[in-house]
A and B are shown apart, each in its own frame.
Chain A
Amino acid sequence: EAQVTQNPRYLITVTGKKLTVTCSQNMNHEYMSWYRQDPGLGLRQIYYSMNVEVTDKGDVPEGYKVSRKEKRNFPLILESPSPNQTSLYFCASGGGDQPQHFGDGTRLSIL
């Protein structure tokens, strides 16, 4: 079964405490993305990766890092989280003229 798996699903943490949200896909897609979704703003792309070791900034990359050491994994790293990064985060796999598949989402609250 085609899957995009994100962890954790929910996280409450404090300002400045580094965190990582993991994302894994089993569809052998080269392209993966991270989005955040905020009320009234829709989904906004944070970072994307076109292949292993190839990443680029999306529309709202400030405060985030990513890495793509293996094709299946694309973790999102918040080195020093701040309250304005409280949001719903989605990892997606696939793209271009093909549909993207989304993970279940990660609800992140930063106090």
Chain B
Amino acid sequence: RKEVEQDPGPFNVPEGATVAFNCTYSNSASQSFFWYRQDCRKEPKLLMSVYSSGNEDGRFTAQLNRASQYISLLIRDSKLSDSATYLCVVSPSGTYKYIFGTGTRLKVLA
């Protein structure tokens, strides 16, 4: 089993739709969680950190479920510019190691 798993997609959604991605992780000692966005073979860019209580940044909401060992990303009112690959990142406790999922591809259609 992979340490971090994501559905590769693609998720094709119309503009204005709400879309959600999940990411599961296997190491229960994982401490830090992030969502990154990557555009077509460019560098990954931080979208948001994921906090235990859940957090929101504009149209984006991230949730952490430690019991079931997954994190989620919800995008509301999708824009064409949201089309990208979304990478889930997990960092185990006591390490500086980052473990990346292979990403979920989102296409927002006009």
Task: Give A contacts to B, CB under 8 Å.
Answer: 31, 33, 35, 37, 40-45, 48, 50, 58, 88, 90, 92, 95-97, 99-105, 107
The segment from B10-18, B37-45, B57-65 found at the interface with A is B37-45
Q: Interface residues of B: mostly helix, strand, loop or mixed?
A: loop
- Are B95's CB and A41's CB within 8 A? no
Q: Separation in Å of the B45 CB from the closest CB of chain A? A: 7
Across the interface, which residues of A come within 8 angstroms of B97, CB to CB? 45, 48, 58, 95
Chain B residue with Cβ nearest A48: B96
The answer to whether A42 and B102 have CB atoms under 8 Å apart is yes
Interface size on B, residues (CB 8 A): 20
Residues of B within 8 A of A58 (CB): 97
Alpha-carbon gap, A31 to B45, bound state (A): 17
- Interface residues in B59-110 by Cβ distance below 8 A to A read 87, 91, 95-98, 100-103
B41–A45 touching, CB < 8 Å:
no
Q: Is the CB of A33 within 8 A of B43?
A: no
Chain A residues contacting B101 (CB-CB under 8 Å) are 42
A42 and B95 contacting across the interface, CB-CB below 8 Å = no
Contacts of A99 in B (CB 8 A): 34, 46, 49
| Contacts A102-B43, A103-B43, A104-B42 given; does A95 touch B96 at CB 8 Å | yes
B98 proximity list for chain A (CB < 8 A) = 33, 45, 92, 95, 100
B22 contacts partner chain A, Cβ-Cβ < 8 Å: no
Complex formed: what's the CA distance from A13 to B33 in Å?
A: 37
Residues of B within 8 A of A40 (CB): 102
Give every chain A residue within 8 A of B100 (Cβ-Cβ): 35, 42-44
- A107→B87 CA distance, assembly (Å): 20
Question: What CA separation (Å) do A98 and B9 show in the bound complex?
Answer: 28
Judged by a CB distance under 8 angstroms, whether B31 is at the interface is: yes
- Across the interface, A102 reaches (CB within 8 A) one of B31, B44, B96, namely B44
